[in-house]
Chains A and B, each alone.
Chain A
């Protein structure tokens, strides 16, 4: 198979990818061909390859993610190359970037105000994120939220949203216009498909966004959408627990997160239906854009 070289720009980062994997050779153009496949830049932040170790080329082939020449993770079946690349890139960003606080959370913007969604796997974070992104919210990031240490703004990556198992079908039905990669089956997280970020999110990637809401979601089948205020201290702890380089940045991380929580309304959010959840959060955002509505009325969206 011929070797392909891709140069991508996603938010502040330029990425150099070398691969022979078919899934990447078809998936990367599909997901990133919105002006973000670029000519070779003078400087790339991350040099990565996805390729098969010598002994895994022929018999039961496996492919591996390499960052700057070192293999990360155990090799995976070649069909998993695309999610492997996305996870590997997350890892590389999470392990090396300290100019931002890197939080394992989704984030989206409504105008210049942003919603941050931390949450454990299975809480419905990515589903909610994909749902909001296909209803007028601007996708900042699905997996890694980058928080500036000066000024507290969020930096958008607008990379593909990683959907797992039933969520894939739910979003297909919810947003028929959405573009998906071929699903990769039987990965560590089950079946994974990547959703291309809406064109508008990519076009407006450089627009500023200041955190205004922190929402910790919990998907419960059959539950009505309900926002309940979450004490700021608890919201802080939730974000800190999900901040990958919190311990590296120390005091700077503490004040950046403190500022974020201070300027945000914080909620727990139980939901059972995606449409209702998206409508509820959008109502929250719209009510907040009216003057003088920062308080209690916004706390209940349903």
Chain B
């Protein structure tokens, strides 16, 4: 079922040392899905380690170099924004808990290597939101353009406030008050996350989630997000986090414990299943199949497996696959279903479809 290019890309992420000696034709096949999944710069770093970038034929080497330059630029930008943010929020909140990419970068984790960053994600206690928003507003952060309906949707249901854009720098900032949407039927105690968060040595004012929580957040993100283009990158993030933290013998037991406490057992189950399956992540088998993870029944699991594979793997050569589109749509529906009960979900999706249509008609009018 898996297409050849995607299969090869995954096997190279799994065993980066095999990257040396790829032919021009191999690169021709690998670069499109890698770029699309946001792992081209990681591939470039792997190639550099495996035999040196200079050993890669000229044409693909230019693409790898270009991706490295772009990744370096994003790293520079994030570092700069982190400095600004520390300055801005000093005195407003005790410490800023960084999430996702910015957290990996600030904490110097291997998951930051060659990673594509879109925005900075921070987590602040919910009760500080009004103050935080006011201070950010004074410092030039504005809500991006958004329909009123979407805005109120964020406020009512989401785990974050609407995305912020810096008025002059154009940077993006997501302010979260918890890590999963509040409509998810099972609730999570955000105070737990703050209690366990750890300071980052050398970066006063910043903290990151405790290792287990960081993995759980990444796992929840992998399957409960509606966007799958970066699925392989997200899977690789998880793989890198698990490899890194897993060297501590106490880590996996604590992961199970936190998953139960934060009620994120199912996302963790799938995250472990797919990282080990596709990337060979060294997770002890007794952890993967722990009864504490409350595995899904076989039918449900088979459906998820098929959907995940379809949605995860970048398609090539035509890039366009109806099957992949459908799987993406299904996971989009699933993500929403997890978020909301049906009587909220159905009107929401109808409304979104109507808004999209109106937008398209408006655009068509312009053309």
- Closest residue of A by beta carbon distance from B77: A247
Compute the total of residue contacts between A and B using a CB distance below 8 Å. Answer: 79
* Count of chain A residues near B, Cβ 8 A: 28
Q: CB distance B318 to A248 under 8 Å?
A: no
Q: CA of A297 to CA of B116 in the docked complex: distance in angstroms?
A: 51
The proximity string for B residues 325-367 relative to A, scoring 1 for CB distances below 8 Å and 0 otherwise, is 1000000000000000000000000000000000010010011
Residues of A within 8 A of B36 (CB): 68-70
The proximity string for A residues 51-66 relative to B, scoring 1 for CB distances below 8 Å and 0 otherwise, is 1001000000000001
Residues of B within 8 A of A45 (CB): 59, 62-63
A36 within 8 A of B: no
Given A49-B319, A49-B320, A70-B229, answer yes or no on A96-B73 (Cβ-Cβ < 8 Å).
no
Q: CA of A18 to CA of B316 in the docked complex: distance in angstroms?
A: 12
Given A98-B66, A248-B70, answer yes or no on A186-B320 (Cβ-Cβ < 8 Å).
no
Give B192 Cβ to nearest chain A Cβ, in Å.
38
Q: CB distance B367 to A250 under 8 Å?
A: no
B322 within 8 A of A: yes
Q: CB distance B57 to A43 under 8 Å?
A: yes
B317 within 8 A of A: yes
Residues of B within 8 A of A43 (CB): 24-25, 27-28, 57, 59-60
Give the dominant DSSP class at B's interface: helix
Give B122 Cβ to nearest chain A Cβ, in Å.
23
Q: CB distance A74 to B360 under 8 Å?
A: yes
Q: CB distance B316 to A69 under 8 Å?
A: yes
Residues of A within 8 A of B319 (CB): 47, 49, 66, 68-70
| Most chain B CB within a 10 A radius of its CB, from A42, A66, A97, A247 | A42
A76 within 8 A of B: yes
Residues of A within 8 A of B316 (CB): 47, 68-69
3 closest residue pairs by CB, A with B: A69-B319, A98-B66, A68-B32
**Extra inter-chain contacts (20) besides given A69-B36, A70-B36, CB under 8 Å:** A42-B24, A42-B28, A43-B28, A43-B59, A47-B32, A47-B317, A49-B318, A49-B319, A66-B320, A68-B33, A68-B35, A68-B316, A69-B32, A69-B320, A70-B319, A76-B367, A96-B35, A96-B66, A98-B65, A186-B367
Interface pairs (12), CB distance under 8 Å: A42-B25, A43-B25, A47-B317, A49-B319, A54-B322, A66-B319, A70-B36, A74-B360, A74-B363, A98-B65, A99-B66, A187-B367
A: residues with CB less than 8 A from B are 14, 18, 42-45, 47, 49, 51, 54, 66, 68-70, 74, 76-77, 96-99, 186-188, 247-250
